[in-house]
Amino acid sequence: MSKKITDKMGPPDKGFVSGVIAELKKVTWPTKNETIRLTGIVILISLIIGAYIGIIDVFMAKALKILTGIN
């Protein structure tokens, strides 16, 4: 005997929704200045890592050209 599994699509549970709303009220949202500062830090670190990977890529490409003798 096989049981038929059905997906129950209906209105969301009111307890769940009220729980989510209650948790979102507890969140400490960052201020505008904090958001701007942290975004700047993320962009700066991303640029530094991108430059580092780019430099390594250039050196590895040159090393591969030297090793393979392809000009």
Q: Which residue in this structure is represented by tokens 């890592």?
A: 49
Residue spans per domain, the chain = 30-71
Report the alpha-carbon distance of residue 4 to residue 57 in Å, rounded.
55
| pLDDT by 10s per residue, the chain, length 71 | 555 555 566 666 778 888 899 999 999 999 999 999 999 999 999 999 999 999 999 999 999 999 998 76
pTM above the 0.85 mark? no
How far, rounded to the nearest angstrom, does the alpha carbon of residue 11 sit from its chain's CA centroid?
A: 30
